[in-house]
């Protein structure tokens, strides 16, 4: 009851004109229909004569009903043509993929595919369709493309940027997906020991107010990273584990992401030496990651609003940005606003009473302005994604 009272729409008057359409949707659910198309909804709306909603009113109805948890509707290009009118139905969709071994399909090919899913986080599109062909999930098949789009939108499954051989992959030819939340294998490589150290990497952390980060948030963040950069292949191993994900920026730079209690720890790695990290590249990466984690935070806060800009609730950002320094046997953190001035290059860890050179941590917020000449360590221009860096 208290959680209901805390909802931002508690106590608001709702239009009487909504009642007939609400009742008709409830009747559809009772008749066994969990999803309806936008055209079906418009037909039901038109049948209400006196209480027919205008297109704008119908859109507002959908968004507010979504915020109240009465239905699921996303106003996105490839999602707005269907509405899940029974929210519990989404659980059926999720458990068809995010499931325990005892519920795997009995076909040998599917069993092997699900073993790979737990080990590498990879599932083929045809395996998903085979799962949905089972009697238990056959009701999903008429909406299979829409359901895949929903799972991608929620970052349950992630469309990769490259194929299994790390070759560019056009979106319309995607044959497999990554499912970070299903991976159970821990990192068994020497990557962290080799590259995530004071010599080769700089560290940034998103430290959350809560003691533990919700798993869904961290999975969405990983999903965002995997859509921006290619998953790294290191000594023949795809670098995605339950405790580590590494993506490749170019031939010299990687990003390693770990979730440790209340922190999402991001290490920007240069294969040779952190002094060779490109400052503007570092700050661009920081901006991309921060924007992504802001959007994810907004996504969760929007679940309790109607999604319209003028009525969106202003929420407090649930995390702080910190810098990490390799201190004795662990990483110690300082708030990014407490960085020493540009003149001072060291910071003292009060816990271990150790001085650290933190000049390279400023790369996370390097200014992007033209220079008349290159630095001594510049090796020339090269292309990173869609930009040219020097």
Please report where in the chains the tokens 């948890």 appear, as a residue. Answer: 69
What would the pLDDT profile of 84-94 be if each residue is shown by its tens digit?
A: 999 999 998 99
Distance, CA of 251 to CA of 254 (rounded, Å): 8
pTM as predicted: 0.74
Q: How far is CA 317 from the centre of its chain?
A: 17
Quote the tokens at residue 236: 């023949």
Higher-pLDDT residue of 279 and 390 is 279
Domains and CATH numbers, the chain: 2-86 (1.10.10.10), 92-182 (no CATH), 191-389 (no CATH)
pLDDT value for 375 = 57
pLDDT, residue 234, reads 93
Interatomic CA distance for residues 16 and 154, integer angstroms: 32
Q: Nearest-CA neighbor of 330 among 271, 253, 265, 382?
A: 265
Please give the pLDDT value at position 42: 95
From start to end of 271-376, where are the E strands?
Answer: 319-327, 330-335, 346-349, 354-357
Interval 33-68: pLDDT, tens: 999 999 999 999 999 888 899 999 999 999 999 988
Question: What phi and psi values does residue 262 have, to the nearest 5 degrees?
Answer: -95, 10
Residue 336 β-bridge partners: none
d(C-alpha 205, C-alpha 323), whole Å:
6
Angle between helices 18-30 and 38-46 (to 10 degrees): 120
Token pair of 43, please?
């037909």
User: Please, what is the average pLDDT of the chain?
Assistant: 82
Cross-strand pairs, 324: 203, 333
For the stretch 317-329, pLDDT in tens is: 788 999 999 987 7
Average pLDDT over residues 205-211: 84
Question: Does 307 score more than 50 pLDDT?
Answer: no
Dist. CA 259–CA 289, nearest whole Å = 14
CA dist 346 and 170 (Å) reads 46
Contact 160, 108 (CB under 8 A): no
| pLDDT value of residue 214 | 73
Residue 187 clears pLDDT 60, i.e. is over it: yes
What percent of the chain stands above pLDDT 70? 84
Query: What confidence category does residue 254 fall into, taking pLDDT thresholds of 50, 70 and 90?
Result: very high
Task: Provide CB contacts within 8 A for 301, sequence distance 6+.
Answer: 313, 315
Q: How many CB atoms lie within 10 A of CB 197?
A: 13
């Amino acid at each position: 009851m208290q959680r209901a009272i805390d909802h931002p729409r508690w106590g608001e008057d709702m239009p009487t004109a909504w009642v007939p359409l609400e009742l008709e949707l409830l009747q559809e659910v009772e008749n066994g229909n969990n999803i309806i198309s936008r055209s079906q909804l418009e037909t039901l709306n038109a049948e209400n004569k006196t209480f027919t909603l205008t297109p704008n009113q119908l859109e507002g109805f959908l968004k507010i009903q979504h915020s109240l948890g009465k239905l699921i509707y996303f106003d996105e290009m490839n999602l707005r043509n269907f509405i899940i009118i029974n929210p519990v139905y989404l659980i059926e969709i999720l458990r068809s993929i995010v499931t325990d071994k005892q519920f795997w399909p009995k076909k040998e090919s599917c069993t092997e595919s699900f073993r790979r899913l737990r080990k590498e986080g990879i599932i083929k599109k045809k395996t998903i369709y085979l799962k949905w062909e089972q009697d238990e999930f056959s009701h999903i098949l008429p909406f299979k493309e829409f359901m895949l789009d929903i799972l991608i939108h929620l970052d349950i499954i992630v469309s990769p940027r490259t194929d299994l051989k790390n070759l560019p992959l056009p979106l319309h030819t995607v044959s497999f997906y990554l499912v970070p939340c299903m991976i159970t294998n821990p990192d068994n490589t020497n990557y962290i020991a080799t590259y995530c150290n004071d010599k080769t990497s700089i560290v940034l952390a998103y430290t959350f107010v809560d003691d533990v980060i919700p798993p869904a948030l961290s999975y969405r963040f990983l999903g965002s990273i995997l859509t921006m950069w290619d998953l790294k292949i290191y000594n023949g191993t795809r670098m995605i584990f339950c405790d580590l994900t590494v993506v490749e920026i170019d031939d010299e730079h990687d990003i390693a992401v770990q979730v440790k209690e209340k922190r999402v720890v991001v290490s920007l790695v240069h294969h040779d030496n952190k002094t060779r990290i490109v400052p503007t590249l570092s700050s661009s990466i920081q901006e991309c990651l921060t924007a992504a984690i802001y959007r994810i935070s907004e996504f969760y806060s929007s679940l309790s609003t109607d999604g319209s800009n003028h009525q969106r609730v202003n929420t407090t950002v649930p995390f702080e940005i910190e810098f990490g320094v390799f201190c004795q046997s662990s990483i110690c953190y300082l708030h990014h606003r407490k960085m020493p001035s540009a003149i001072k290059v060291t910071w003292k860890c009060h816990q271990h009473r150790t001085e650290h050179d933190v000049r390279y941590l400023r790369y996370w917020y390097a200014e992007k302005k033209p220079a008349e000449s290159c630095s001594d360590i510049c090796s020339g221009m090269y292309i990173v994604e869609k930009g040219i860096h020097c």
